[in-house]
Amino acid sequence: MKLKTTMIILFLGLNSLAQIKFEKGYFITNNGQKIEGLIKNNEWLQNPNFLIYKKTIDAEQKKLTLKEVKGFGVYGSSKYIKAIVNIDKSSKILKELNEFKEPKFEQEEIFLKVLIEGDTNLYSYKNGNLVRFFFNKNNSEIEQLIFKKYKTTEGKIAINDKFKQQLWVSLKCENISFKTFKNLDYKEQDLIHFFERYYNCMQSEYISFKKNKDQDLFNLTLRAGLNNSSLKTGNNTFDADSPYFPDFGNQLGLRLGVELEFIMPFNKNKWGFIIEPTYQSYKADVDQKNSTSVDYSSIELPIGVRHYFFLNNSSKLYINGSIIIDFSNGELLSQEIQSSSNFGFGVGFKSQEKYSIEFRYHTNRDLFNNYLNNYSEYKTMSIIFGYTIF
């Protein structure tokens, strides 16, 4: 119980360390003045309605709302502008579709994310399930690109994809065929690619805020370590100190595995999905009234999530939690082992994107999972060393 409490306190303590960094950026006041400083870069999945700003790294942070600024940006990352736009908020969820083909616009003041900037601009707005794209040309009024699903009178699903016509009218170029417009999808990457193609066709300069895909969104790591495992057995019809169901005590054992990690491409790459097939074993003998033994080995399959806390450019802390599916082999008290799943919680440190060390606590696993009266408590604490190949 004390160990669990310590782990929880440690996890909460890590949360106060190494949060998302402040990066060089700026904001534009309502008077048009550009103020340089540091912006807390959240790599927003949805369009924000405020920003956190600091004049210097040691200065007090300040929250600036939509009403207080005309826009802001993080150099080399993102840019947002404030705009009053007509936006259609019709749902795309099938059971919520209406029978109106035309969008129902509402006027609203929002931050738009700049995707392409030049003589012709492309913007996006995301809020929950709502995803809308906007554009303007030569400083004209910002206009929503229209895409709307609706139900016909026959109850069928139809699509109003007027955005193709809007782009055809405004962004025709001799090297872009009508088929290109016709095959466009209402997706961010498709629209960015089209605007880039348009600029190349027009031989005009532009700025793209398209996020470069990281080359290391998948990591493969060799993992080896040491388990300190304990095993107690019991039976509901026997006394707790029965020699037939002994306590095998603590044993040290090796663990060997490989970790597959998929980094989520948002929130500064701070979240990962992990799968870690691992071989582990536990052997012990107890010479009481009757000589008893256990010979247990298994392939564990932890599946979980990881969260990173960046300390600097070359080192980071992390925590992870996993459900562990166990594929067991062996005998315990002359009976076939049938193990249950359990959970694992780890705290680790990684350096140079190569070397890692982790301490992991495993909750109880029952090796008599499908037996009526027999039960066991198999618990493990591990120290794990890792080397990331790529």
Q: Are residues 201 and 252 in the same domain?
A: no
**Residue-number span of the structural domain to which 34 is assigned:** 18-76
Domain membership of residue 245 (yes or no) is yes
Domain membership of residue 267 (yes or no) is yes
Domain membership of residue 341 (yes or no) is yes
Q: Are residues 208 and 245 in the same domain?
A: no
Question: Which of 180, 212, 244 is the last residue in one of the domains?
Answer: 212
Nearest C-alpha neighbor of 78 from the set 32, 120, 124: 124
Q: Are residues 279 and 343 in the same domain?
A: yes
Q: Are residues 352 and 234 in the same domain?
A: yes
Helix H or strand E segment including 100: none
Q: Are residues 376 and 345 in the same domain?
A: yes
Give me the CATH number covering residue 226: 2.40.160.20
Q: Which amino acid is at 288?
A: Q
Cβ atoms of residues 65 and 49 within 8 Å: yes
Domain membership of residue 10 (yes or no) is no
pLDDT digits (tens, 9 = 90+) for 82-114: 999 999 999 988 889 999 999 999 999 999 999
Q: Are residues 183 and 95 in the same domain?
A: yes
When the pLDDT of each residue in the chain is averaged and rounded to a whole number, the result is 88
What span, in angstroms and rounded, lies between the C-alpha atoms of 259 and 21?
27
Question: How many of the other CB atoms lie within 10 Å of CB of 219?
Answer: 18
Pure H helices in the chain: 2-15, 163-170, 178-182, 188-202
pLDDT confidence band for 18 (50 / 70 / 90): very low
CA distances from 29 to 33, 44, 85, 111 (A): 5, 21, 19, 14
Give the model's pLDDT for residue 16. Answer: 47
Question: Which of 212, 246, 263 is the last residue in one of the domains?
Answer: 212
Give the model's pLDDT for residue 214. Answer: 46
pLDDT confidence band for 344 (50 / 70 / 90): very high
Give the model's pLDDT for residue 95. Answer: 87
Give the model's pLDDT for residue 371. Answer: 73
Q: Are residues 333 and 233 in the same domain?
A: yes
Q: Are residues 243 and 383 in the same domain?
A: yes
What span, in angstroms and rounded, lies between the C-alpha atoms of 63 and 77?
20
Give the model's pLDDT for residue 73. Answer: 95
Domain membership of residue 377 (yes or no) is yes
Does the pLDDT at position 70 exceed 70?
A: yes
Q: Per the structure, how many domains does the chain have?
A: 3
Give the model's pLDDT for residue 235. Answer: 74
Does the pLDDT at position 38 exceed 80?
A: yes
What span, in angstroms and rounded, lies between the C-alpha atoms of 75 and 157?
43
Give me the CATH number covering residue 49: 2.30.30
Domain membership of residue 66 (yes or no) is yes
- Global pTM value: 0.63
Domain membership of residue 1 (yes or no) is no
pLDDT digits (tens, 9 = 90+) for 42-63: 878 899 999 999 999 899 999 9
CA atoms within 13 A on the CB side of 107: 1
What span, in angstroms and rounded, lies between the C-alpha atoms of 40 and 47?
14
Domain membership of residue 141 (yes or no) is yes
